[in-house]
Structure formats: structure tokens, C-alpha cells
Amino acid sequence: MIDLKQANQALETDLHRKDATQIVVWAQATFGTGLIMSTSFGIQSAVMLHLVTQVVPKIPVVWVDTGYLPVETYQFADALTQRLQLNLQVYQSPISPARMEALYGNLWASQEVEAFNKYDYMRKVEPMQRALRELGATAWLAGLRADQTVHRQTLDVVTQQRDIYKISPILNWHARDIYQYLQAYDLPYHPLFEKGYVSVGDWHSSRPLMADDESDRDTRFRGMKQECGLHLPQTPGEAESLDSSFL
């Protein structure tokens, strides 16, 4: 067990790029082989993948493949995996897309948040829970940023999600920091960035940014919710208040 308050105070800085690397170094020294990272191969995923693997080259990289990702995401994932020599661990739902649709219909097309939550639990949350168990994870590096959702604005760099510690090295980065890092290391955005996407998940629940969108996350889940459930905490009540399933 670690003291969360003490850990966050020790890591409390202006959190520029150099500090993000120091946070990864601290995480590796603290958690050792229990440290994993996750990726969605989203718009800016190259940043975290590069940042972390410069410090921990063989870290298990968990990718939850829902079976509904855009073609461009699969191609982007393949290219980054080869370029960065990722130790990629792919997890999927035991329920195939065809079976899920036969039993429950197109859950993502529903106007009910509960249907989205059911979809997210089957295709994302359960596979991630299984990955954490099978890999023996005690800590999880994630590319969360405070400016992405209301919930993420409340986070510290180090948090605890049930029995797993969550470390967010780029929590206080902004779009400019992301751009500068990508430029410095000649890393790519996701291909759909050039088509106006600022956030991308499944093909049926992502769209380009529109002029009247209030935030990047309005382009996901038809604006009905902000989180898929992978990065929500601690109690069912908190999760329910954010209209999402929880991990």
C-alpha cells in the first residue's frame, strides 16, 4: 500500500513534459513488474506509448479491441506496434459482435444510456478487468487528461481504483503539449485527426468535431455520456452519477 496524499505531494510540480517522464520513472520504481499501461490507439495515443516505453520498453500494453473500431484504428495500431516494438496484449469480449447483436440488438443505437452502459461493460470493462487480473497488475499507467471530461478534472496524478493504483503522467497537459511532443519525436496523430476527429473510439459512436460542440467528448457516444467506464472509480453511486458503467 502507498500513501496517496504523500505520493501526489512528492510528484506535485508544474507537470511539463520532463515531469511526465519522472512520473513514469517513479511508477516503475514503485510498482515494478506489477505496472502495466493501457492504450486505445486513439487520436493522441502515440504520446503515451512513446513516453512510457522510453522508460519501460517491455511494459505490457493492454489494448481492449471492441471489434467495432474504425479501419484506420487497426492500421494505426499495427504501425505504432511495429515502430515502438510494443509488448501488446490484446483483450476482447468473450461475446462476439455477431452474438451480442443477435441477443441484444444494436445497443449503441439506443436512446437509453443504460443500453450504452451494457455495451461498454461487455465490450470494454469486462475485458479490461480480465487483463488486470491475468497480468497481475497492481498499477496502471493511463493517458488521462484533466481537460477531457468533468470527472477527470477531479483526479490526482496518482489515484486508487478499487485495488489498482492509477497513474496519469500527462494529466495536466493540454493540446499544445501534445502537439509539441508529437512534433519533437516525429510521432503521428491518428489518421482520422485529419478528418476533424479530436477523439475516436468505436466507428458507430465517434464523429468529427462540430462548431457547436462544447468539448471534445461531445463527439463520443452521441453526447449522451463522457466516459466508457474504464476510468471511473470506486463506488456504483459515483459511476451512476456520471452515467456510465464502472470498473
Pairing of strands 164-167, 158-161: antiparallel
157 catalytic, yes or no? no
Q: Evaluate if residue 218 carries a pLDDT over 80.
A: no
**From the candidates 100, 122, 141, 228, which is the catalytic residue?**
228
Is 239 or 59 the better-scoring residue by pLDDT?
Answer: 59
- pLDDT winner (highest mean) among 45-54, 113-122, 139-148, 220-229: 45-54
In this prediction, residue 244 has a pLDDT band, given cuts at 50, 70 and 90, of very low
Is 50 or 211 the better-scoring residue by pLDDT?
Answer: 50
Q: What is the pLDDT of residue 241?
A: 31
Q: What is the pLDDT of residue 245?
A: 28
Least confident of 15-24, 97-106, 150-159, 180-189: 15-24
DSSP the chain: ---HHHHHHHT-S---HHHHHHHHHHHHHHHGGGEEEEE---TTHHHHHHHHHTT-TT-EEEEE--S---HHHHHHHHHHHHHHT-EEEEE--SS-HHHHHHHH--GGG-S-HHHHHHHHIIIIIHHHHHHHHHTT-SEEE----TTT-TGGGG--SEEEETTEEEE-TTTT--HHHHHHHHHHTT-PPPGGGGGT-SS--SGGGB----TT-SSGGGGBGGGS-S--STT--S-HHHHHHTTS---
Cα angle, residue 151 at apex, residues 148 and 153 outer, rounded to 5°: 65
Q: What is the pLDDT of residue 124?
A: 93
Average model confidence (pLDDT) for the chain? 84
Q: Give the global pTM.
A: 0.82
